[in-house]
Amino acid sequence: MRALRALYISGEPAVCRAAAAFSGPWFQKSSRYCSRATPENRNKTDHSVLRHLTSKIKSTGPISVAEYMREVLTNPVSGYYVNHDMLGPDGDFITSPEISQIFGELLGIWCVSEWMAAGRPKQFQLVEFGPGRGSLMSDILRVFSQLSAPLGGAEMSCHLVEVSPRLSKLQAQCLTGDQSQVSTNEDDPVYRRGTTTTGLPIYWYRRISDVPQGFSIFLAHEFFDALPIHIFQKTEKGWREVMVDVHPETEDKLRFVLLPSATLASSTLLQTDEKRRHVEVCPEGGVLIQQLACRIVEDGGAALIMDYGHDGVKTDTFRGFKAHKIHDVLAEPGTADLTADVDFSYLRRVAGDRVTCIGPISQRAFLKNMGIDTRLQVLLRHCQDPSNQAQLIQGYDILTNPEKMGERFQFFTLLNHRRLTTPETGEGLQKRKGPAPLPVAGFSELCLR
């Protein structure tokens, strides 16, 4: 924390965030944070996704929940993420970066702190998965430009992994002020590129394998919970997979069914000593973690995963959200967000011992360790307008209150092992222990596994 305080930026509130946009009280339903605002124009129903799914199921049989989620969320033509701007008062839910600028600012400091702890490598790639509207990256870049002295000399660049062309356009507007170009070559792994308003090169990709190798800090905020899950149920005959089928009596309705025999997924994705009787597994999240672990081992860097989640104890967390309300996951597919809490114990297991995993710890603990109270006081001192002050306080409360996002939202990090070892200096008998590594900002030592 000492290093952090030294980096601390002073400054004024930059933007009025969603805490202000919603006039009503806030509430939390399962995962996802919602307001009581009821957006207009949300009653239009689009049946094309349902038609596509029912004809697919009728021709090839029930599909896994993972396939259902993938089709509903990221189908290149009709996917929910491809066609919606789902964040904010007119969307379906709200996320921390949209609630308060302080969130992104503290993450900016976390990134700089990890870059410094890695020995200030010349190359510094900031990679974000699923950047939504670009608010988190925008707040981080503002911090970077205010910390130009400690960052001086680093060759910095921004890399966004985003499946939605529509959201990538919003992100480009937010981050480059329209100074971005879309690639005309379909085979180009960079489908959009530009320069941020703070002067950094910025690139958009569809998948992590397209992001160049090199020292990187990876950020994933409410990204893993959008990745497809398989669902399994323990029966007297063993584990069986929950599938999505067409309702036998109502053709335009879907229902869950249990397959009578084991699937490849049910025989390969579960732990032999699993104690729960209902389990959700996200293999795409596992593959991504393995890719991140490989990169962190080879190139250095760190990954910070921030999501609603648990440490291998929860069972039934698959939910739909539409217009800030819980929505039946099988109703009107493609018009609502689908999400499942992240199982951090699974991510830790697939990361293996190649990297150090710390967490999960609660958002409240992480932000408090990062100095959110001090940052709030600095912003309040620089802010004369009582309504802006009230918004800052309201945003702080939503982020940290255990009854709101404070406890259920979790932080988890992957680090290169070198990050936490004390280097030796000198040779032979002259060998001496170097200075102890800097503590990992935001995480208490008690959470180290």
Residues binding ligand SAM (CB under 6 A): 73-74, 81, 87, 95, 97-98, 130-132, 161-164, 167, 221-223, 226
Min separation Cβ 273 and ligand SAM, Å: 30
**Residue 127 C-beta: closest distance to ligand SAM, Å:** 12
Question: Whole-angstrom Cα distance, residue 303 to residue 289?
Answer: 9
Give which of 96, 52, 43 is closest to 70, Cα–Cα.
Answer: 52
Long-range contacts of 67-71 (CB under 8 A, 24+ apart): 67/228, 67/244, 68/228, 68/244, 68/333, 69/227, 69/228, 69/229, 69/338, 70/228, 71/333
Distance CA 400, CA 119 (A): 32
C-beta closer to ligand SAM: residue 81 or 412: 81
- For 55, the enclosing helix (H) or strand (E) is helix 48-60
Cβ-based nearer residue to ligand SAM, 204 or 443? 204
Closest approach, Cβ 382 to ligand SAM, in A, equals 25
- In the bound state with ligand SAM, the residue whose beta carbon lies nearer, of 282 and 441, is 282
- For ligand SAM, which residue has the nearest CB? 130
Which is closer to ligand SAM, CB of 162 or CB of 241? 162
Nearer residue to ligand SAM within complex by CB, 87 or 202: 87
CB 392 within 8 A of CB 25: no
**Who contacts 315 (Cβ-Cβ below 8 Å, separation ≥6)?**
276, 277, 278, 279, 280
CB of residue 59 vs ligand SAM: minimum separation in angstroms?
Answer: 25
In the complex, least distance from residue 229 CB atom to ligand SAM, rounded to whole angstroms:
13
Please identify, using beta-carbon distances, which residue of 91 and 300 lies nearer to ligand SAM.
Answer: 91
DSSP 8-state assignment for residue 279: E
Minimum CB–partner distance for residue 335 and ligand SAM (Å): 15
Phi, psi of 118 (to 5 degrees): -85, 5
How many CA within 13 A on the CB side of residue 154?
27
**Shortest CB 316 distance to ligand SAM, Å:** 20
Based on CB atoms, which residue is closest to ligand SAM, 131 or 320? Answer: 131
Residue 384 C-beta: closest distance to ligand SAM, Å: 29
What is the rounded CA–CA span in Å between residue 448 and residue 20? 37
User: In one letter, which amino acid is 293?
Assistant: A
Minimal distance, residue 205 CB to ligand SAM, in Å:
9
Of 35 and 164, CB closest to ligand SAM? 164
Nearer to ligand SAM, 121 or 212 (CB): 212
**Alpha carbons 227 and 287: distance in angstroms, whole number:** 11
Which residues does residue 416 pair with via DSSP β-bridges, in sequence order? 355
Q: Is the dihedral of CA 91, 94, 100, 106 positive or negative?
A: negative
